[in-house]
């Protein structure tokens, strides 16, 4: 590594200039080109990023469903996000961090917070309702280099896996970008997950380092990240070599043998003004792993590539979001989810935009906090899940009129279905396009969307839109694989090859990749595991999951994971967890537990004790996000003659809907048992 100054490096950026593809304003033509002339289309889009070495082959589809994009090309995600912008926008904000959790009351309670900000090297602005840190592209360049230097000095090299378990703070962004800079593979774990989840991911990734904080905050409640990491390491079979700790001054902790203090290490890099040269990676080298719930208890490590990821996200900021360099983009999502990866960290930076990072809730310290942030920072494009908006819809509507939100030109929502009343409420108050769209952790960017960039496909309320360029998507009959007619329910599938930026495989498990996503009769069709219907105008409508994954406030949870946590309780013989519709969060998990001794719930006191124990077991194992909304204790569960629990029937009973055909039921009285358990609740 060379100890150059940041200003010196700004003069060494590549002379290669961005070449925006020439295009008509007709989306239909763009889509057709992307399907019929894949290589030509994506070769044009590849000009949007910097290549240290140009690709030798745009697409290798010789081994489908495994596809490789931009083969032989060498690039670096961090370089494309940061370095290449220094010549034109070094003093433009790259990130604006805001926290409604760090307030005056908290600082009075935890005075070390002030010292921690000083140690972390950035100016801080304190307001009555939030704390703010601004970071220019030049600032970001320096901080990412310092962080990369710390990683390298502690043995992290190209290909090593690094777990990031952090709240929504700037240092989390530095960590992700620093890993990308040196070719390490990061895996961010959502901060709401418990130690057990963390241990599973440490083991599967074989993580060499964990990066965390002393504590986080949610709704004023302190979350002890460091303790959870310690517990996760105790449970993990594969132990990290180091735990890099960003001390925020919120919660004192006992320093362990593996711990490394980030502020101390950063100071060494800062005083030397160290610059770490980017590692140029072949396009198909993994950039990160993001674990997603599946129908089995073990999460799947979605593996993302490097070059395809950069090209896909950069293109999406233009063609889908109509984002322009210099504008401000706010994806209100945690970095532990795909949205946070794609549209809080990477895509806005790739496009030369300013990205908002927010630590806080939609309604605290008051229901106007989002709109206050929009006004103060002139946000142009918003993106979140409908749950947060539905929460605000329940508040005093005058909060919507207290701030100037005229900077907003569009508001995108995803993660769960957008109901018409919420869309209408937003339209009434914002007066801008309210655009539903659909994608998955696996896709990394939208599969279906409405596109304000083009005017030949008008927005249709109630639909997440139509297939985006590159996605050969259709609704098919599950049995025959044939395309469904307009208005006919089927499975949403995508023909291989998947476009750039989608998962390339499941980490170290190609068989699970095929079994999970390409097990249809036509083995070259990717299954989204979502039912859908296409209307006569070609707009898609998502009808719900085909598997046992539920969607809680935009967060995917496998019901089997929750069932496994409950089944560890000594008094539980068997259980079934289903997701039921919820007005606020979309879906909520509820559990039906058959006890070894039914008399244990004969008294209200015992029943309450067991409920709390079961809920506690889930929260301890999976975190608060998986907390069941209700626990029922039937004497039996409905099963088929082969012994399979009929979760479909249980869900129907819970939602007071017809159970449908029960001819395969082996124990008809179990239906009555489930009904009775809900009456007893």
For 304-356, give the secondary structure using H, E and C: ECCHHHHHHHHHHHHHCCCCCCCCEEEECCCCCCHHHHHHHHHHHHHCCCEEE
Closest CA to 290 of 343, 335, 239, 255: 335
Q: Which of the two residues, 573 and 199, has the higher pLDDT score?
A: 199
Cβ–Cβ under 8 Å, residues 552 and 585: yes
Band of pLDDT at residue 321, cut at 50, 70 and 90: very high
What pLDDT was estimated at residue 666?
A: 59
Q: Per-residue pLDDT averaged across 539-549, rounded?
A: 79
pLDDT, tens only, 599-657: 888 788 888 999 999 999 998 888 888 899 999 999 888 875 545 677 778 888 888 88
User: Lowest-confidence range among 27-31, 332-336, 358-362, 584-588?
Assistant: 584-588
The reported pLDDT for the residue numbered 601 is: 83
Strands 354-359 vs 93-99: parallel, antiparallel or unpaired? parallel
> Does residue 220 register a pLDDT over 70?
yes
Residue 240's pLDDT is: 98
pLDDT band at 443 (very low <50, low <70, confident <90, very high): very high
Distance (Å, whole) CA 391 – CA 354: 26
Q: Global pTM?
A: 0.83
- Structural domain boundaries in the chain: 12-75, 549-680
Q: Which helix (H) or strand (E) holds 34?
A: helix 27-36
Torsion of CA 142, 146, 147, 149, to 10 degrees: 140
What is the C-alpha separation between 256 and 587, in angstroms, rounded? 40
Write out pLDDT tens, residues 5-27: 333 333 333 334 344 555 556 89
CA dist., res. 221 & res. 218, Å (int) = 5
Q: Is residue 3's pLDDT more than 70?
A: no
Provide φ and ψ at 431, rounded to 5°: 65, 25
**What is the rounded distance in angstroms from the CA atom of residue 468 to the CA atom of residue 363?**
33
Residue with tokens 């795909």: 338
Q: Which CATH number fits domain 549-680: 3.30.300.30, 3.30.70.100, 2.40.110.10, 3.40.50.2000?
A: 3.30.300.30
Per the CB < 8 A criterion, the answer to whether 247 and 116 are in contact is yes
CB atoms within 10 A of CB 388: 20
The pLDDT score that the predictor gives to residue 636 is 86
Of residues 197 and 40, more confidence is placed in 40
Give the pLDDT confidence of 455-491 residue by residue, as tens digits. Answer: 777 888 889 999 999 999 999 998 788 999 999 988 9
pLDDT value at residue 16: 40
- 9's CB contacts (< 8 A; 6+ apart) are 83, 86, 141, 275
CB 469 within 8 A of CB 30: yes
**Main-chain phi, psi angles of 58, to 5 degrees:** -70, -45
Q: Tens of pLDDT along 286-305?
A: 999 999 875 555 789 999 99
Per the CB < 8 A criterion, the answer to whether 276 and 1 are in contact is: yes
More confident residue, 225 or 119: 225
């Amino acid at each position: 590594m060379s100890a150059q100054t940041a200003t010196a490096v700004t003069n060494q950026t590549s002379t290669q200039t961005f070449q925006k593809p020439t295009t008509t304003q007709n989306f239909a033509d763009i889509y057709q080109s992307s399907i019929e002339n894949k290589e030509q289309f994506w070769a044009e889009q590849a000009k949007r990023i910097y290549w240290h070495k140009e690709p030798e082959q745009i697409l290798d589809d010789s081994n489908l469903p495994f596809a490789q994009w931009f083969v032989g090309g060498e690039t670096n995600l961090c370089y494309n996000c940061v370095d290449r912008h220094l010549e034109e926008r070094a003093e433009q904000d790259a990130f604006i961090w805001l926290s409604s959790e760090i307030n005056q009351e908290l600082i009075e309670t935890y005075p070390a917070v002030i010292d921690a900000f000083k140690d972390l090297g950035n100016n801080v602005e304190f307001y009555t309702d939030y704390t703010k840190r601004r970071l220019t592209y030049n600032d970001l360049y320096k901080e990412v280099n310092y962080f990369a230097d710390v990683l390298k000095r502690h043995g992290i090299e190209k290909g090593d896996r690094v777990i990031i378990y952090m709240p929504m703070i700037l240092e989390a962004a530095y960590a992700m970008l620093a890993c990308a800079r040196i070719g390490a593979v990061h895996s961010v774990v959502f901060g709401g997950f418990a130690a057990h989840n963390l241990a599973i991911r440490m083991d599967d990734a074989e993580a060499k380092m964990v990066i965390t904080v002393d504590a986080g905050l949610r709704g004023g409640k302190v979350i002890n990240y460091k303790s959870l990491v310690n517990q996760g390491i105790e449970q993990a079979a594969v132990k990290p070599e180091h735990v890099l700790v960003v001390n925020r001054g919120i919660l004192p902790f006992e320093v362990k043998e593996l711990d490394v203090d980030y502020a101390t290490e950063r100071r060494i890099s800062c005083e030397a003004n160290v610059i770490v040269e980017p590692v140029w990676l072949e396009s198909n080298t993994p950039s990160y792993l993001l674990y997603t719930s599946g129908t089995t208890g073990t999460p799947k490590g979605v593996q993302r590539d490097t070059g395809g990821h950069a090209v896909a996200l950069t293109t999406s900021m233009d063609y889908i979001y109509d984002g322009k360099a210099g504008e401000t983009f706010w994806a209100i999502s945690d970095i532990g989810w795909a949205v946070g990866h794609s549209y809080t960290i990477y895509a806005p930076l790739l496009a030369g935009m300013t990205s908002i990072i927010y630590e806080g809730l939609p309604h605290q310290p008051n229901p106007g906090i989002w709109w206050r942030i929009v006004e103060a920072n002139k946000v142009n494009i918003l993106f979140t899940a409908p749950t947060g908006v539905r929460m605000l819809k329940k508040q005093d509507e005058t909060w919507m009129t207290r701030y100037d939100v005229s900077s907003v030109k569009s508001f995108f929502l995803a993660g769960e279905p957008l109901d018409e009343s919420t869309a209408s409420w937003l339209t009434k108050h914002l007066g801008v396009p309210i655009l539903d769209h659909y994608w998955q952790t696996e896709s990394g960017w939208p599969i279906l969307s409405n596109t304000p960039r083009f005017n030949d496909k008008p927005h249709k309320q109630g639909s997440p839109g139509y297939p985006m360029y590159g996605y050969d998507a259709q609704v098919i009959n599950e049995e025959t694989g044939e395309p469904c007619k307009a208005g006919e329910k089927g499975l949403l599938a995508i023909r291989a090859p998947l476009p750039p930026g989608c998962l390339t495989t499941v980490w170290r498990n190609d068989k699970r990749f095929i079994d999970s996503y390409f097990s249809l009769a036509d083995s070259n069709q990717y299954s989204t595991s979502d039912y859908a219907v296409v209307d006569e105008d070609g707009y898609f409508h998502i009808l719900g999951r085909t598997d046992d994954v539920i969607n809680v406030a935009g967060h995917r949870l496998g019901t089997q994971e929750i069932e496994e946590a409950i089944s560890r309780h000594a008094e539980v013989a068997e259980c079934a967890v289903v997701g039921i519709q919820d007005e606020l969060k979309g879906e909520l998990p509820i559990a039906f537990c058959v006890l070894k001794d039914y008399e244990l719930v004969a008294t209200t006191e015992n029943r309450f004790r067991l409920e709390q124990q079961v809920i506690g077991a889930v929260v301890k194992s999976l975190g608060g996000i998986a907390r069941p909304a209700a626990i029922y204790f039937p004497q039996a569960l409905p099963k088929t003659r082969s012994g399979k629990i009929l979760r479909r029937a249980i869900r129907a009973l819970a939602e007071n809907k017809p159970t449908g055909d029960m001819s395969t039921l082996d124990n008809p009285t179990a239906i009555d048992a489930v009904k009775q358990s809900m009456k007893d609740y």
